[in-house]
Amino acid sequence: MLVPRAASEEPPQQARSTQSSNPQSLQLAVVFGLWYFHNVVFNIFNKKVLNFFPFPWLLASFQLFVGSLCMLFLWTFKIQNCPKITKPFVVALLGPALFHTIGHISACVSFSKVAVSFTHVIKSSEPVFSVVFSSLLGDTYPLQVWLSILPIMLGCSLAAITEVSFNMQGLWGALISNVGFVLRNIYSKRSLQSFKEVNGLNLYGWISILSLLYLFPVAVFVEGSQWVGGYYKAIEAVGNPITFYIWVMCSGVFYHLYNQASYQALDNISPLTFSVGNTMKRGWWNPVRPLNALGSGIAILGTFLYSQVASSKGGKKDGDACSR
pLDDT of residue 225: 95
Residue 128 CA to residue 125 CA, distance in Å, equals 6
Residue 105 sits at the vertex; the CA angle it makes with 247 and 232, to the nearest 5 degrees, is 40
Task: Pick the range with the lowest mean pLDDT from 17-21, 102-106, 165-169, 294-298.
Answer: 17-21
Note the pLDDT tens digit of each residue in 59-91.
Answer: 999 999 999 999 999 999 999 888 888 888 899
In the three-class reduction of DSSP (H, G, I as helix; E, B as strand; rest coil), residue 68 is classed as helix
Residue 312 has phi, psi (to 5 degrees) of -85, 5
Q: Are 280 and 118 in contact (CB under 8 A)?
A: no
Which amino acid is residue 95, in one-letter code? G
1 alpha-carbon distance from chain centroid: 57
CA-to-CA distance for 54 and 219, rounded, in angstroms? 13
Report field, pTM of the whole predicted structure over 0.85 = no
What gap in Å lies between CA 261 and CA 200, rounded to an integer? 9
Contacts of 117 (CB under 8 A, 6+ apart): 160, 162, 163, 164, 285, 286
Q: What is the pLDDT of residues 156-198, one digit of tens each?
A: 666 666 555 556 787 788 789 888 988 888 888 787 778 878 8
What number is the average pLDDT over the span 129-158? 74
Q: What is the pLDDT of residues 216-247, one digit of tens each?
A: 999 999 999 999 999 999 999 999 999 999 99
As a residue count, the chain comes to 324
261 versus 322: the higher-pLDDT residue is 261
Higher-pLDDT residue of 92, 21: 92
In angstroms, the first-to-last Cα distance of the chain is: 46
DSSP single-letter state for residue 285: S
Closest alpha carbon to 263 in 22, 93, 108: 93
Q: Which of 284, 277, 37 is nearest to 160 (CA)?
A: 284
Which amino acid would we find at residue 232? Answer: Y
